[in-house]
Amino acid sequence: DAGITQSPRHKVTETGTPVTLRCHQTENHRYMYWYRQDPGHGLRLIHYSYGVKDTDKGEVSDGYSVSRSKTEDFLLTLESATSSQTSVYFCAISETGGSSNQPQHFGDGTRLSIL
């Protein structure tokens, strides 16, 4: 299995508070992704990174920001959490971009509840 660690695995917080989720990889893969998973929607891409300090928006980026200061770490921040951001968040990595023959490998997820 790909070496991907997400932290925390579970978090409960209140509306309006900032939240940061961390994804750490040991595979030295260039690409890293953040998805959210909600019932009836499958996984939807929030942001991705194609290198250190290189990031771009995905399908559902509003309300989220990301940072990548090292190859191995990709942080997702909710500046002011809202109840609509209650979800399960997955990090994924790949050697090359999503259209290539390198499919993404996933972490075990972070369950975030915003009350």
Partner 1 sequence: AQSVTQPDIHITVSEGASLELRCNYSYGATPYLFWYVQSPGQGLQLLLKYFSGDTLVQGIKGFEAEFKRSQSSFNLRKPSVHWSDAAEYFCAVGLNNNDMRFGAGTRLTVKP
List of residues contacting partner 1 (CB under 8 A): 4, 31, 33, 40-45, 48, 50, 56, 58-59, 90, 92, 97-101, 103-109
Nearer to partner 1, 14 or 59 (CB): 59
Looking at the Cβ atoms of 30 and 73, the one nearer to partner 1 is 30
Q: CB of 91: closest distance to partner 1 in angstroms?
A: 8
Closest approach, Cβ 80 to partner 1, in A, equals 26
Q: Which is nearer to partner 1, 10 or 15 (CB)?
A: 10
Closest distance of CB 31 from partner 1, Å:
7
Give the 3-state DSSP-derived string for the chain, with helices as H, strands as E and coil as C.
Answer: CCCEEEECCEEEECCCCCEEEEEEECCCCCEEEEEEEECCCEEEEEEEEEECCEEEECCCCCCCEEEEEECCEEEEEECCCCHHHCEEEEEEEECCCCCCCCCCEECCCEEEEEC
